[in-house]
Structure 1
Amino acid sequence: MSRTPQEIFESYVYAGTMSRNADALAENFTADGVLEAPLMPAGAAFPRRLVGREEIRRVMAAYYEQQVKGDRSPNLEKSGYVLHTTSDPDVFIAEIDPVFDGDGDEVAVSLVQIFRIRDGKIARLRDYFAPELMS
């Protein structure tokens, strides 16, 4: 049974941003899946490119163990997103406007993610966000 873009996106966000569960995050990807953050500079704490489910699992587990800037948590009531389907049924785009609470203030962010799906799993995800938010 194939998952919808909505189901894939929500599963990915819950595993990553919400629960910081590297095992669950990695299981959203195909065995040879690619997770890319093309705007990240080399040597940044957040990885620029990971190839394969096991590398995604290992590197993201280490990343989640680190203290994230300001240790902010997402505010679901103030955050929003729109999913855009494309003429290719295996590609969808997420336009995301999350708001994070912490340190006595809130931070609004805008980002775009491009998903390429194979057999209901993420084969390639390009995550475009401002790198300074992850340092």
Structure 2
Amino acid sequence: MSIDEIVTAYHAAMLHKSPDELADLYAEDALHEFPFGGPPPFEGREAVRTGYRAMWGGSAFEAEEVRRVALHRTTDPEVVVVEQNTHVVAAGQRVTVPGLLVLRIRNGRIIHTRDYMDTSAISQVRAATAP
């Protein structure tokens, strides 16, 4: 898969809240990190699958749209930076969650992700869906 195809498929997995679609984009020994907080790193494709199944399966929000704002290629041909906005509905409240993905892609698979999400927007989503 090309970088553009991987980013498009990544966003589709987010929209569908599909841990299987997402994990299938990763190399077997990949690493997915959340530098601004959140869960501990997911080490390996199956940890990505399990981690996202727990996160998305236990959340009461629905993704309406995942919009690619920009795709920045770097001087390293394996690394791209994706600016994105995820529009979600949580308990009837619409929230936009801005984010950045720093992806290292090798041989058509993601080998490393740094997943930066706007923590204040994530807090809004959690507050809206709290019991």
**TM-score computed with the length of structure 2 as normaliser:** 0.81
Deviation at 1:87, TM superposition (A): 1.2
Asked if 1:51 corresponds to 2:43, the answer is: yes
Once residues 102 and 63 of structure 1 are traced to their aligned partners in structure 2, the CA distance between those partners, rounded to angstroms, is 14
Deviation at 1:96, TM superposition (A): 1.2
Once residues 105 and 73 of structure 2 are traced to their aligned partners in structure 1, the CA distance between those partners, rounded to angstroms, is 12
Q: Pick from 5, 8, 20: which aligns with 1:7?
A: 5
Map Cα deviations across residues 78-113 of structure 1 (whole Å, 9 max, x no partner).
Answer: x44210111111110001123324444422232111
- The structure-2 alpha-carbon separation of the partners of 1:23 and 1:104, relative to structure 1 and needing over 3 Å to count, comes to closer
Name the aligned partner's letter for residue 12 of structure 1.
Y
Asked if 1:75 corresponds to 2:72, the answer is: no
Q: Pick from 29, 38, 42: which aligns with 2:35?
A: 38
Q: Provide the residue aligned with 2:94 in structure 1.
A: 106
Q: Provide the residue aligned with 1:129 in structure 2.
A: 117
Name the aligned partner's letter for residue 8 of structure 1.
I
Aligned length: 123
Deviation at 1:37, TM superposition (A): 0.9
Once residues 80 and 118 of structure 1 are traced to their aligned partners in structure 2, the CA distance between those partners, rounded to angstroms, is 21
**TM-score computed with the length of structure 1 as normaliser:** 0.79
Map Cα deviations across residues 7-55 of structure 1 (whole Å, 9 max, x no partner).
Answer: 111111111x1111112211100000111111115xxxxx231000111
RMSD across aligned C-alpha pairs, in angstroms? Answer: 2.0
Identity of aligned residues (%): 28
Map Cα deviations across residues 46-65 of structure 1 (whole Å, 9 max, x no partner).
Answer: x2310001111122212222
Once residues 50 and 93 of structure 2 are traced to their aligned partners in structure 1, the CA distance between those partners, rounded to angstroms, is 32
- Contact 1:75 1:101 (C-alpha < 8 Å) held by counterparts: no
Could you say which structure has the higher strand fraction?
2
Once residues 61 and 6 of structure 1 are traced to their aligned partners in structure 2, the CA distance between those partners, rounded to angstroms, is 24
Q: In structure 1, list runs of 5 or more residues that go unmatched.
A: 42-46
Residues 92-103 of structure 1 correspond to what in structure 2 (within 5 A)?
A: 92-103=80-91
Name the aligned partner's letter for residue 62 of structure 2.
R
